[in-house]
Structure 1
């Protein structure tokens, strides 16, 4: 049960946001409804997401694995649900996305670089970050500084998303079910 009402005031910003959300995702996203109680926070958050969507230095697949690893570490069910759907929409292998929460046990499904990215995302997500100099050096050498900065910013952004959604008590909205292959 959410800890905040998902019926924000019917302001112009919230009505536009709901329209855009339905058009883009097929339903109104619960985080948007929660943020809708504070129009300045909602507007700033949407602008941040719009700008982050333009970052292109880091491979989209690596970026998505990092985001999913951070969400899994925080245990944000809303983020995992939406992230699975979003990954499938982007054409990423569904089985690989499904394995992210247990990537250490399923190492054979991932490349060495993907494993490093998920390790970094988890290390950054710890309440006291556990990123090591060695891990940062390895990723910077493999990705380049521009992509490394983007990776770091994306994990931080996912920490914001996951921690806010978890604090609001938001849970799955059924996005991942839309990706499942129907039984014959």
Structure 2
């Protein structure tokens, strides 16, 4: 259970109700981070706009590369919700999720291309505290991806850092998207806030 309870549908206002309905239709359940964000409608609106804009705009790089670095950031930060949700999205996109088991061995594993290895190392360096990105890393990726690709890769990494750190800090954990049982953590019922009892909103 998150450190801050989610906002139930009845209390979520027009934006929340619309967002919950859209999410339920698209993903089969309302993502728990969204229900927590609805405590601050302005922050929720900003997040929704940013996510939708990023989804439409960040399409220069191959989807598999974007998803791979996103997953790496999620595991590095320790966001189990992001790992769960990201795995579901990759599976739905028809990507190879089995090789994720070898992700920690990416520097030497034959399951990853040279570009993927460089991108994953960059994701690690950009996520580290303090960051350990080097001029050489950036130059190598820029030479292969171009300025546009490098900026997109960096944006994807930064966006996932934002998501993962928000969720991890507020104790939002995996929701069951990978297992197909996402509705085990549905939108909280109005009378159940803080009581650990849930309803399907």
Which of 73, 85, 101 matches 2:76? 73
**Structure (1 or 2) with the larger CA radius of gyration:** 2
Q: Gapped runs of 5+ residues in structure 1?
A: 180-184
Aligned to 1:59: 62
- Cα distance per residue 1:87-136 (max 9 Å; x no partner): 11111112123433x24376221111111111111110012111111111
Q: TM-score, normalised by structure 1?
A: 0.92
Aligned to 1:168: 170
Q: 1: CA distance between counterparts of 2:101 and 2:153?
A: 21
Q: Gapped runs of 5+ residues in structure 2?
A: 182-201
Q: Secondary structure of 2:180's match?
A: helix
Given that 1:84 and 1:97 are in contact with CA atoms closer than 8 Å, whether structure 2 keeps it comes out as no
Greater shift, 4-13 or 154-163, is seen at 4-13
Q: 1: CA distance between counterparts of 2:38 and 2:53?
A: 19
Aligned to 1:35: 37
Q: 1: CA distance between counterparts of 2:62 and 2:26?
A: 23
Q: 2: CA distance between counterparts of 1:94 and 1:56?
A: 20
Given that 1:76 and 1:163 are in contact with CA atoms closer than 8 Å, whether structure 2 keeps it comes out as yes
Q: 2: CA distance between counterparts of 1:69 and 1:75?
A: 10
Measured on the aligned residues, the alpha-carbon RMSD in Å equals 1.5
